[in-house]
Amino acid sequence: MRTWIAGALGALCSMVAGMAAAQELMVEKKTFELPSFTTQSGRTLKNVKVGWESYGTLNADKSNAILICHFFSGNSHAAGKYDAKDAAPGYWDAIIGPGKAIDTNKYFVLSSDTLVNLNTGDPKTTTTGPASSDPDTGKPYALDFPIVTVRDFIEVQKALVESLGIKKLALVAGPSMGSLQTYEWAATYPEMVAKAMPVIGAAEADAMLIAWLDVWAAPILVDPNWNNGNYYGRTAPLAGLAKALTAVTLQANHADWANATFGRRPAKEGEEPGKALANRFQVQSVLDNAGEARAKVSDANHFLYLIKANQLFAAGGTSLKEGLAKIKAPVLLITQPKDLVFTPDLIARTADGLKQAGGNVTQVFIEGSRGHLDGVISMKQAEGAIREFLEK
C-alpha cells in the first residue's frame, strides 16, 4: 500500500510539474517613470519613461529577482504573451516560465525597455529618446537628445529595481546588447549581482565591431530624408532605415542559414538576376522585405543612438582588463562559435580576461545555422547549463 501511495504521489507530482511547464505565461506591460534622470554625459532629462514587465512572484525578502536585458532591436518582451491570440511569445520563452530553466515558480523575473529603444512604433514599447517630446519645448528632441550609454540603460533599470524594494539580483542575463548590459551591471554594481549570464556578447566593443556598427548606420546617414535627424513631422528616412535593418539581419545570421534557405534562387520565377540589373536573388528580396516591414515600426534616430551606445561600450567604463577585474559574480558565458557580430576571437578575449582576473566563469557553446541569432532562438540547448548555474 505504501509503495502504491508513494508511486501515485510521485506520478501526481510529475503530472503537476508537467502542467506547470505547459502553462501559458500571460504578461502585462507596465510603465516606469522617473521625474528626472541625469545621463552619464551630464544632461538631465525630465519625465523619463520605460516600459517593463514581470513574470512570477517576488518573495517576502525580495531575494528571488532576476533581471533580463534585451538585445539591440528587442524590447522588454522576454517571455509569455500579452494576449492568448498573440502569434508568438517573448524571445526567451523557451527558458523563462513555469518549470523552465529560469523557473517563474521560483523566481520573479523582470525586464524593461531601454532608453532610445528602436521600436517606437510598437504600442507595447515605451521609451524615451530622440523621437520623444522635450517637455521644455513640446517638440521632439531629435539630435538634441543627449548621447546615452549602456551605463545609462542600467541606471534606469537600477532605479526600477530599487523602486520594487529589490536590493540584490539573483541573476542578470541577456543576449547581445543584453549581454553588454549584463557585463555593465556586474562591473558597476558587483554588490547587487549574485550571478551573471551574458549571452552572445563580449565585455567591450573592439575596433572591428565599432566599424561594423558604422556600416549598419550608414544607409540612414545617406538617406536625404534623414535631414540631419530633423524629420519628425516630415517624410521619415524609411529607405535608409530599412537598409540598415537589412544589414543587421544579415550579420546576425550565418552563411549556413542563407545558403540552405535561399541558395542562388531568383526572387521571381523567370526573372534571372543575370538578365537585368533590376532582377534580384531571393535572399536579397527576403532580407529587404523584412527590413522594410521592421522600419515601419522603428525610428532612425533611435537606431543611430543605439549604435553609438554599443560603439562606446566597455564594461565598467574602463579598459577591458580593468572592467573585468570589477566583476565578482560567477559568470555563465553562453556563445555561438559561428557568431558574425561578436566573433569567437572577441568572445575569447572576454573569457580569458575574466579568468585572468580570477573570475569564476563557465563557458557554454550553442549550435545552429543562425549564428548570432542562435543566442535568441536556440537557447533551449543551454537549459541544463542554466539550471545547474542557478542551483549552485
Q: Spell out the SS3 assignment of 70-112.
A: CCCCCCCCCCCECCCCCCCCCCCCCCEECCCCEECCCCEEEEE
Cα–Cα distance for residue pair 362/331, rounded to 1 Å: 6
Q: How far is CA 308 from CA 31, 53, 305, in A?
A: 25, 26, 5
Strands (E), the chain: 30-38, 44-55, 65-68, 96-97, 102-103, 108-112, 171-175, 196-199, 331-335, 361-365
Query: 3-state DSSP helix/strand/coil percent for the chain, to nearest 5?
Result: 40, 15, 40
Of 369, 304, 301, nearest to 337 by C-alpha is 369
Cα–Cα distance for residue pair 170/210, rounded to 1 Å: 32
Q: How far is CA 121 from CA 49, 186, 254, 300, in A?
A: 15, 32, 28, 11
169 burial type by CB count under 10 A (0-12 exposed, 13-18 middle, 19+ buried): buried
Cα–Cα distance for residue pair 325/204, rounded to 1 Å: 13
Q: Does residue 316 contact residue 354 with C-beta atoms inside 8 Å? A: no
Q: Does residue 281 contact residue 262 with C-beta atoms inside 8 Å? A: yes
- The sheet carrying 44-55 orders its strands as 30-38, 44-55, 108-112, 65-68, 171-175, 196-199, 331-335, 361-365
Give the active site residues.
Answer: 176, 339, 372
Q: Does residue 373 contact residue 253 with C-beta atoms inside 8 Å? A: yes
List all residues 6 or more positions away from 127 whose beta carbon is below 8 Å from its beta carbon: 49, 50, 51, 113, 114, 115, 116, 117, 119, 120, 302
Within 10 angstroms of residue 185's Cβ, the number of other Cβ atoms is 30
